[in-house]
Structure 1
Amino acid sequence: MVRGVRKTRRGARDAGRGVRTRRGALLLAAALTLGAGGAVGATGCGPETSPAPGGPASATSAPTGPTTPAASSDPATSTPPAPTTPPRTATPPGTIAPTEEPRGQEVLVEVVVSGGLAGVRNQLIVHYDGTWTSRSGTKPPRTGRMTPAEAAELRAALEDPAYARVPTRPTGDPVPDGFQYVLTHRHRIVVAGDGERPPALRRVFAALPDGGPPTRP
């Protein structure tokens, strides 16, 4: 009877020890689990966290824009420099710019004659190509053409430096009821009468076609 009671008590103690042993093992396992979880969180190996909005910060990049290609040392591939426009040179003061050659149909000389007893006013126009037109009063105009030699002689007489020195007004005594001649050559006007005439002026009159400007009414 006593032995049975002792065995029962011993079995109860052994059972209690087994319960404590299992409880301790469970507590130890829980402690190890918690410790492992803390270590994992400390080392950054825990649950992933979503990155901040906008993504990770990136390195500052240089502004983009057109780039200038570097000069190549190879003459075959290098770009030649752009041509430069030479500066304009001003015409020195007092210098006359060259004029274009006159065309054939431009007026070489115009002679208007007026006066006389009848009070005429007639006209003779000669062009550079030698063609001429003569008008006398109300009559139909007469036309003609000088030979190349005759046209060259008239041009030479008008371009003679001596003609450029002819006075623009008559120098001799006026002739009663005489005629007055107005010659226009390249915007220069010379007025002459039937009186004394310089040789350069006489040369121009001698070279005029059809005997000069008509003096008939």
Structure 2
Amino acid sequence: MVRGRGVRGKWCGALLLAAVLAGGASACGPVTPPAPGGPASGTTSAAPEQPESQASTAPTAPRDEPRPAEVLVEVVVSGGFAGVRNQLVVHHDGSWTSRSGTKPPRTGQQTPAEVAELRAALEDPAYALVPSRPTGSPIADGFQYSLMYRNRLVVVGDGERPPALQRVFAALPEGGPPTSP
């Protein structure tokens, strides 16, 4: 049974149990399937409820805190006369990898100040207002730039770099992925 607070918690627990037995979901939150090796479908294992004062008080890390090796931003440049597709990935710790065509990847490390500037540019409210898709006419044999930051994809073409986006590119290692094949 799901522990909760007061009457609402008991109702949510009852609704959740009914939803699990019926194979559906409840309004109290998502239903997760039993772990492998857990009880068979249609059976339950009741655990004794503990008073809230005895509940686990182990500290947990904030979920918003990224791990150093997680990707901060990914930038891909594609197009051009030669049809390039080059990529730059910057991690939260400032380490980065640039891939260009069939050449071996290049790696590097930004200083803490450079990482802070990149984060500031990406978190700037003006950057959040940059349109997600190109707004101008495409340039023949021009490049298209795709930036992924916090599950938001921004795609712009050559000549479509508003000041907030220029600030992001200026803070990227080597100004972003190369445009050469």
Matched, 1:85 2:85: no
1:115 aligns with 2:79: yes
Deviation at 1:162, TM superposition (A): 1.2
Larger Rg: 1
Q: How many residues align?
A: 125
1:150 aligned to which of 110, 114, 134: 114
Residue equivalent to 2:174 = 210
Question: Percent identity among equivalent residues?
Answer: 77
RMSD: 1.7
Matches within 5 A, 1:1-217: 84-85=51-52, 99-217=63-181
How far apart are 1:84 and its partner, in Å?
3.9
Shift of 1:196: 2.7
Distance in 1 (CA, whole Å) between partners of 2:109 and 2:52 is 49
Is the helix fraction higher in 1 or 2? Answer: 1
Q: Deviations over 1:108-135 (max 9, x none)?
A: 0001111001000110000011000000
For structure 2, list consecutive stretches of 5 or more residues without a partner in the other structure. 1-49, 54-61
- Separation in 2, partners of 1:145, 1:155: 15
Q: Deviation per CA, 1:70-128, whole angstroms, max 9, x where unpaired?
A: xxxxxxxxxxxxx9427xxxxxxxxxxx7330011000000111100100011000001
Look up the SS of the partner of 2:52 in the other structure.
coil
2:161 match: secondary structure:
coil
Q: State the distance in 2 between where 1:196 and 1:213 align.
A: 16
Give me the TM-score of the superposition, normalised by structure 1.
0.55
Match of 2:30 in 1: none
Letter of the structure 1 residue corresponding to residue 52 of structure 2: T
Greater strand content: 2
The normalised TM-score by structure 2 is 0.65
Match of 2:6 in 1: none
- 1:201 shift after superposition: 0.9
Matches of 1:156 and 1:103, distance apart in 2: 18
Counterparts of 2:95 and 2:172 in 1: how far apart (Å)? 11
Deviation at 1:178, TM superposition (A): 0.5
Alpha-carbon separation, structure 2, partners of 1:126 and 1:173: 30
Do the aligned residues in 2 keep the contact of 1:178 with 1:193 (CA within 8 Å)?
Answer: yes
Aligned to 2:16: none
